[in-house]
Amino acid sequence: MESRFRVLFLIVAIISLPGCAATKNLFGFGQEEAPPPSAEPPGQVVDPQVERREIKEPAIDREDFEVGGYVGVMGIEDFGSNVVYGARLAYHVTEGFFVEGTAGTSEGGLTSFEVLSGGARLITDSQRQLTYFNLNLGYNILPGEAFIGEGRAYNQNLYLIAGLGSTRFAGDDRFTVNFGVGYRFLLTDSVALHLDFRDHLFDIDLLGEEKTAHNLEGHLGFTVFF
């Protein structure tokens, strides 16, 4: 008896299945059928009816490098202050970070000891020539605009730099750490004026015991982006 009911239910179930399948969308159950695929892929704004020509897009001019020179004053510890000249090459990695190489030259004067003692000289004249090169990492801060009068606005920003290099002074190459702050004033998008203050630190043992000399430099510069 029981098995006969089971067979009956099975038969009813088998017959009703295709019917359910056919009517399932009538009640909104199940998946809607996908619309027929459009002839145009999505994102295609213009239907290309004409034969496409190969157009060479002009390359975009990249101006990530900044090159220029500077003139200022450098104080060499114990040897007085003198004019400093230099050149700078920077590569802008992101809008914040840049890497920079600088090379400059200045000249040391007489120490107080040399002036007071009269004739005695600690180093020769050629050894008083100071030349340095440094590799720095810089970070741009406080970007904004400077207004000159009512109708003119110029871009400007400050930047911090720190790096290391080598200084030749008093007959030796000296490992040098330098850091500082600079101000960049952009005359146009590709031409800038700079005002920089830097401290060059190196060890020197010329006057008996070894000490770390602070050599402060302030300079005005002019750079061009390319």
Partner 1 sequence: MSEHSITTIPSTPQLTKSAWLICLVAVVLQIFLTAPVEAADDYRTVIVADPYLEMHTGPGRGYPKFHVVDRGDSVDILMQRTEWYLVRTDAGKEGWVDREQMELTLQPDGQEVDFGDIGLEDFTNSKWELGVLAGDFGGANIVSLYGGYSLNPNVSVELWGSQILGNFSNGWMGSVNIVHEAFPDWRVSPFFTLGAGAIYTEPKSTIIQGEDRTDQIGHVGGGFRIYATRRFLLRAEYKSYVVFTSRDENEEVEEWKVGFAFFF
For position 125 contacting partner 1 by CB under 8 A, the verdict is no
Q: Which range, of 15-23, 108-116, 180-188, 212-220, touches partner 1 by CB under 8 A?
A: 180-188
What is the DSSP secondary structure assignment for residue 127, as one 8-state letter?
G
Residue number with CB closer to partner 1 (73 or 185): 185
Among 36, 41, 58, 149, binds partner 1 (CB under 8 A): 58
d(CA 219, CA 197): 7
Q: What is the Cα–Cα distance from 109 to 129, expressed in whole angstroms?
A: 9
Contact in structure between 165 and 133 (CB atoms under 8 Å) = yes
Any contact of residue 189 with partner 1 (CB under 8 A)? yes
Return d(Cα 137, Cα 92) in angstroms, integer.
10
Q: Is 188 in the site for partner 1 (CB under 8 A)?
A: yes
Q: Is 54 a residue that touches partner 1 (CB under 8 A)?
A: no
Q: Is 149 in the site for partner 1 (CB under 8 A)?
A: no
Contact code string over 92-111 relative to partner 1, x by CB under 8 A: xxxxx--x------------
Q: Does 39 bind partner 1 (CB under 8 A)?
A: no
The residues, ordered by sequence, that sit 6+ positions from 181 with a Cβ below 8 Å of its Cβ are: 158, 159, 160, 161, 196, 197
User: Which residue, 179, 181, 212, is CA-closest to 194?
Assistant: 181
* From 9-17, 31-39, 74-82, 136-144, span contacting partner 1 (CB under 8 A): 136-144
Whether 223 and 102 have beta carbons less than 8 Å apart is answered as: no
The C-alpha atoms of residue 61 and residue 226 are separated, in whole angstroms, by 9
Name 53's Cβ contacts closer than 8 Å, sequence gap at least 6.
Answer: none
Q: Taking CB under 8 A as the rule, does residue 63 contact partner 1? A: yes
| Site residues for partner 1 per CB under 8 A | 43-46, 52, 55, 57-64, 91-96, 99, 135, 140, 142-145, 153, 155, 157, 164-166, 170-175, 186-191, 203, 205-206, 224-225
